[in-house]
Amino acid sequence: MLQPRSILLGAGLLAVTAVSHATEGVLDIVAPWEIGSTDPAKAGYVYTRLQISETLVEVDDRGQPEAGLAESWTLSEDRLTWRFRLRPGVQFHDGSPLTAEVAVQALNLALAKPGMLSQAPVAAIAAEGNEVVVRLRSPFAPLPALLAHSSVQILAPASYNEAGEATQVIGTGPYRIEQLQMPQKLTAGVFQDYWGEAPAIERLSYLAAGRGETRALMAESGDADVVFTLDPASRARLQRNAKLAVQAVAIPRTVTLKVNAGHPFLAEPEARRALSLALERTGMAVALLRTPEAGAGQLFPPSMTDWHLSQVSGAERDLQQAKALLAGLGWQANDKGMLSRNGTPFKLTLTTFSDRPELPLLATAIQDQWRELGVELAVNVANSSEIPAGHRDGTLELGLMARNFALVPDPLGTLLQDFGPNGGDWGAMNWHSERLGEILQQLLTATQDQDTAALRREAATILHEQLPVIPVAWYQQTAAVSRQVEGFSMDPFERSYRVSDMRWAQ
């Protein structure tokens, strides 16, 4: 066995780790996300990803709801009452049974806090026999997707204090917590009374390491078996390591340019199309993101199969067509190639933030590419809060940001928030499509057996043609996995690390 060694985890913080091998039976997972709380509303994603806790509804790789702790569900004819039938014989890690009353308690606690469930027009949640009954004030088709969110995981009653805060995580998953050292470390072992198939990996450990370089070094040294979220340079290096397999999957998060469509330079769809055509998306994806396939020619990535327009490419640059579109709007180039109209130069300010380190780099690249178009772009790197603030006070011209369309597996809730009549902090600004609004409302009230694929495609087409936000790049989740591990796969919705599907290589 290799000797323990010190690894730099963050500013001024050292932790001693030891190399784990298959012979020790512990799968070591390293990711950037700290364990900030035991309460599902604050850090529930950590526990669902590690399969410690579970939700009523699960999701497949296409984002479609499937059975979780609820083995089935039905919707009343008036679409106001959902009934979720629980799996029989499920136990929590403390040995207490999962009952409808217990599930209702967990859901009502989640409903009382800011979170995904509060988006639904819930009138009441009650237990009837072995069913959880959710009554709505108005139809809301995405309810199963909301019930798959980590903030509505079902915990045992002993998890909560008198104020309704979860002070410990007593779940129903295949792994139970053995030791929790917030905010950085967690260890868990197999729960012998799990209702499903017993995992092959008997124990796991989770370590939060914020620095990408640290995570990459731990993968290289063997200090970790699975390392999530690799920076582009480390990913390229680790791909050359024969002891590791590097995997990537597109996730439903897109880098977009938020456009103030009320600005006189940006009001016409042709102007927004010209700015989009002037982007060298593939070049930015290769040079800055080190992921050639990350160039986003449309808003929704291929992993969002119900929303992705398979017949559309759109990532290619066409500078000549972009110039022609602007010329058709009255923009003329001077002897230096810079554009003006009626004596007013084409000057804009792009606001972005450095919380995601790739955004300022992309902003600088966009600045150079639009200069070739004749557009003078100033880049303002500020706090992320300046984009919603600029939306609200009307001062924002352009914002470069990353939008996650999988806060719940069905993006409908996010789209309603972003492209409603008044736009959204992270969506449209001074732009509204009545037809898109009609489509979203139809999807919101659709019945379970209704085919909504055509509506989703029409909604995606409107956004692609009108460009209230301009897509730049799709995010990819990346991981380096030891060759000692088999059965690894990545959840495109980042709900689970799927440890129970893994096994040690023979």
CA 504 to chain centre: 29
Among candidates 97, 90, 92, 113, which has minimal Cα distance to 42? Answer: 113
The H-or-E segment that residue 438 falls in is helix 434-444
Give 281-327 pLDDT, tens digit per residue. Answer: 999 999 998 888 899 999 998 878 889 998 887 678 999 999 999 99
User: Based on the number of CB atoms within 10 Å of its own CB, is 356 exposed (0-12), middle (13-18) or buried (19 or more)?
Assistant: middle
Q: Are 218 and 7 in contact (CB under 8 A)?
A: yes
Give 370-396 pLDDT, tens digit per residue. Answer: 999 999 999 999 988 899 999 999 999
- Long-range own/partner contacts, residues 186-189 (CB < 8 A, 24 or more apart): 186/35, 186/46, 186/50, 187/26, 188/50, 188/52
Torsion of CA 231, 51, 47, 99, to 10 degrees: 160
Mean pLDDT of all residues in 172-192: 97
Distance CA 391, CA 258 (A): 9
Extract the runs of DSSP E, i.e. beta strands, from 274-369. Answer: 332-333, 339-341, 344-345, 347-353
Residue type (1 letter), 504: W
% of the chain exceeding 70 in pLDDT: 94
Distance CA 174, CA 199 (A): 7
Phi-psi region of 394 (alpha: psi -120 to 50; beta: other; left: phi over 0): left
Dihedral sign, Cα of residue 484, residue 486, residue 492, residue 496: negative
Query: How confident is residue 212, by pLDDT bands cut at 50, 70 and 90?
Result: confident
Instruction: Please tell me whether residue 44 adopts helix, strand or coil conformation.
Output: helix
Bridge partners of residue 348, in order along the sequence = 377
Instruction: Enter the tokens of residue 141.
Output: 């088709």
Instruction: Enter the tokens of residue 86.
Output: 């629980």
Query: How confident is residue 22, by pLDDT bands cut at 50, 70 and 90?
Result: low
Phi-psi region of 115 (alpha: psi -120 to 50; beta: other; left: phi over 0): left
Query: How confident is residue 451, by pLDDT bands cut at 50, 70 and 90?
Result: confident
Which residue in this structure is represented by tokens 């590690």? 50
Asked if residue 41 has pLDDT above 90, the reply is no
Q: How many CB atoms lie within 10 A of CB 99?
A: 16
Asked if residue 407 has pLDDT above 80, the reply is no
Query: How confident is residue 9, by pLDDT bands cut at 50, 70 and 90?
Result: very low
% of the chain exceeding 90 in pLDDT: 72
Give 119-130 pLDDT, tens digit per residue. Answer: 789 999 999 999
Residue type (1 letter), 49: R
Distance CA 160, CA 262 (A): 48
Among candidates 111, 109, 85, 108, which has minimal Cα distance to 98? Answer: 85
Side-chain-side CA neighbours of residue 474 (13 Å):
27
pLDDT for 449 equals 61
Instruction: Enter the tokens of residue 331.
Output: 């923009």
pLDDT for 331 equals 98
Q: Are 303 and 249 in contact (CB under 8 A)?
A: yes
The H-or-E segment that residue 322 falls in is helix 319-328
Q: What's the pTM?
A: 0.79
